A and B are shown apart, each in its own frame.
Chain A
Amino acid sequence: MKIGIPRTLTYYAYLPLWETFFQELGCEVVLSDETSKGILDKGVEFAVNDACIPIKLFHGHVYNLKNRTDFIFVPRLLNLTREKTVTYCPKFLGLTDMVHASIPDLPPLLDFRIDLREKWKSKHREFERMGNMLRLHPHIISRAFHKATKKLSSFRKQIVNSKDPEQALKLLLNCSVVPDLPGQPITLAVVGYPYLLYDSFVSAGMIHKLHKMGIRVLTPEMVPQRTLARKAKDLPKDLFWTFSNQVVRSAIYYIDENKTDGIIHVTAFGCGPDSMVGKLIELEAKQRTVPYICISLDEHTGEAGVLTRLEAFVDMLKYRRDRL
């Protein structure tokens, strides 16, 4: 059985999870092609025009898988953490329905609903529903999911424990070369959602560009989950979205621990949660006099535009460092 996984959104956020899960089930995994202009154009064509670029891309990736697979995997994530009050952006919650309503003639969508807050019984019901779709015993599905989450946590450990940030980024970006950085590099915390940061098409290769300038890049994934959970205290009220919490808390962590010379907040044009996240980080950075820049990405983002802004920001940091 061929299962198509769109190579965007939760694919990057939970990197080995879905592939492992379906391999454990004995399915053949088909990933959609890497993001390209063609995929983006298809996404823009099918998705509702007010959606943000990640949602448009998701539509494009689903379209890319359309005639190649028996099922397309569109997870409906509600909660994958230990925190009770968080969920995901409403667009994630309604993603299956949006795709279903927008793209015609799709193969069946595998809408695995994951809510780890629920009681065992309702979780089991979901495994049963999945089992019915895939013609597998729910027990096998539950075991595969368990194994996949273990793989995910060991992957996360590997990232957190890597020798230096460059090694971690090598794993996250899935590239082969580790950049050479000068002895005392300028360090930048690049915070944003995984599906923006690690998709080099959307982010216009931002991380590679920074590496080429000899900058050390830190991302939210490099902070251990437990440390992030402790940082929750610094905010009067938790945000409602898992990824946003991760971004805000890691930014506060990097500022608090003096680990970074500046903050780059990478966001998608029109991102709802990020309008909150960005302002929180901006105010925090302002208070601690850490330089902050927000780079927002959309369908028309050009490499040159991003590069210019990065260069200007880095020049400013260098000037600042020389003066201090």
Chain B
Amino acid sequence: MKVTFPHMGSSPIAFRMLIEKLGHQPVMPLRPSEKTLSLGSHYAPEFACIPFKILLGTYLESLERGAEMIITSGGMGPCRAGYYGVLHEKILKDMGYNVDFIVLEPPQKRAVDFLKKLGKITSGKSLPVIWEALSTTWQKLRVLDQTEELSYEIRPWEANKNETTKAMEKCYKIINTAWTREEIHKSGMECTKLLNAIELDRSRKPLKVGIIGEIYVVLEPAANFDIQRMLGDMGVLARRSIYLADWTRDNTFFKGEEHIKLAARPYLNELVGGHGTLSVGNTVLYSKDGYDGVVQLAPFTCIPEIVSKSILNRVARDLDIPVLTLFIDEQTGKAGIKTRLEAFIDLMYSRRKHRREAVI
């Protein structure tokens, strides 16, 4: 069967392997483009957030290229992303597509449902094969995350511009071809070596910025204009709060993120779904760790992030840390984002300067 899935950051590299190992033919989702977005916006409800529109556009593009089954994730609310699977399916059916739509709900809440769907995807495969496929996919996701994380640590110091980006392109290729457990492990080592070989200029003192917000626009470079790289190229050490593998672990079988929720408690004492509470908690933690600023990324009309934005005003005032909120929609352009980031960076530099003068 021809199977497709959403495009989210670099994760398609790992999911492609999973689908192939389960004996299906993957239809690789294209990197979302302007065409994807306008296709999605055309059929999506007007006020659905940008991840909904991009995903719908991606599905439509994959269906045109022959996909017969779509696998995506569900959720338990109160963020509406948990309902996207249902509505996507209804919209696609209404448009006349006959597609197998499989929405994987969090296994700890609906175990039977999860296993049933898993059974449908893995039909005919033996348990060891399934286990091998799942565990290597997990391993690959982790290697991808670690490599990316390292690249963002290196970029602001690179002596020659764009060297990190070029190295990352090679890294993706290396990870993409790794197939077995040992190969994936080796590919990770190789990527680390490749990135560490980049010539650095350690005399720089880059600003430190935390990126928080809604998972899709934080993880998908096509949705956020590759903001993390953009910041790195501007000489800013940008760290983001969400990585796919960690987030999946913390939100399925293991309870994680407790310390972040604890940090948010004085300001937001309720789980508001999505990443709202985490955005507040992470801002508190970033300010304690001495970051120069925080960039909040969110899709336009995102409910949890609107709640956290209104609270972040107070957090920013109390803890004296600047927060730049960027709501992203169909009209957002790269130049607009860049201008605002430049202004924000100027602000952070002048704050740093004033602080240093105050100390002296």
- Is A185 on the interface with B (CB-CB < 8 A)? no
| A261-276 near B? 1/0 per residue, CB < 8 Å | 0000000011111111
| B280-303 near A? 1/0 per residue, CB < 8 Å | 000000000000000000001111
- Size of the A side of the interface (Cβ < 8 Å), in residues, is 37
> Are A101 and B45 closer than 8 Å at their CB atoms?
no
> Are A102 and B80 closer than 8 Å at their CB atoms?
no
Closest to A100 in B: B314
- Is A98 on the interface with B (CB-CB < 8 A)? yes
- Is B90 on the interface with A (CB-CB < 8 A)? yes
Residues of B within 8 A of A271 (CB): 47, 301
Kindly identify which residue among B49, B94, B300, B314 contacts A283, using a CB–CB cutoff of 8 Å.
B94
- State whether A93 and B311 are in contact (beta carbons under 8 Å apart), knowing that A274-B47, A275-B45, A279-B45 are contacts in the complex: no
What would 6 more interface pairs be, CB under 8 Å, given A94-B311, A101-B267, A278-B45? A47-B310, A91-B303, A91-B307, A272-B49, A275-B52, A276-B83
C-alpha gap A97/B276 in the complex (Å): 12
C-alpha gap A275/B315 in the complex (Å): 30
- Is A286 on the interface with B (CB-CB < 8 A)? yes
> Are A90 and B86 closer than 8 Å at their CB atoms?
no
C-alpha gap A58/B271 in the complex (Å): 20
- Is A161 on the interface with B (CB-CB < 8 A)? no
Kindly identify which residue among A48, A93, A237, A278 contacts B313, using a CB–CB cutoff of 8 Å.
A48
- Is A50 on the interface with B (CB-CB < 8 A)? yes
| Segment of A27-35, A81-89, A249-257 engaged in the interface with chain B | A81-89
C-alpha gap A279/B44 in the complex (Å): 8
Residues of A within 8 A of B79 (CB): 90
C-alpha gap A272/B87 in the complex (Å): 14
> Are B306 and A50 closer than 8 Å at their CB atoms?
yes
Residues of B within 8 A of A47 (CB): 310
Residues of A within 8 A of B78 (CB): 87-90, 93, 240-241
> Are A237 and B86 closer than 8 Å at their CB atoms?
yes
For chain B, the bracket of interface size reads 35 or more
C-alpha gap A88/B79 in the complex (Å): 10
> Are A90 and B272 closer than 8 Å at their CB atoms?
yes
Residues of B within 8 A of A (CB): 44-49, 52, 74, 76-80, 82-83, 86-87, 89-91, 94, 267-274, 276, 300-304, 306-311, 313-315, 327
Kindly identify which residue among A101, A275, A286 contacts B80, using a CB–CB cutoff of 8 Å.
A275
> Are B47 and A270 closer than 8 Å at their CB atoms?
yes
Closest to B48 in A: A275
- State whether A98 and B47 are in contact (beta carbons under 8 Å apart), knowing that A90-B273, A93-B78, A241-B78 are contacts in the complex: no
Closest to B267 in A: A97
The 9 closest A-B pairs by CB, nearest first: A240-B77, A48-B310, A101-B314, A94-B307, A272-B303, A275-B47, A90-B272, A275-B45, A279-B45
Residues of A within 8 A of B (CB): 47-48, 50-51, 76, 85, 87-91, 93-94, 97-98, 100-102, 235-237, 239-241, 269-276, 278-280, 283, 286
Residues of A within 8 A of B310 (CB): 47-48, 51, 98, 101-102
- A56 CB, nearest partner CB in chain B, Å: 11
Residues of A within 8 A of B87 (CB): 276, 279-280
Q: Which of B44, B83, B89, B313 has the most CB of A within 10 A?
A: B83
C-alpha gap A142/B300 in the complex (Å): 41
Pick 5 A–B contacts, CB within 8 A, sort by A: A48-B309, A97-B268, A273-B80, A275-B49, A276-B48
C-alpha gap A275/B81 in the complex (Å): 11
Residues of A within 8 A of B90 (CB): 279-280, 283
C-alpha gap A47/B46 in the complex (Å): 23
> Are B306 and A91 closer than 8 Å at their CB atoms?
yes
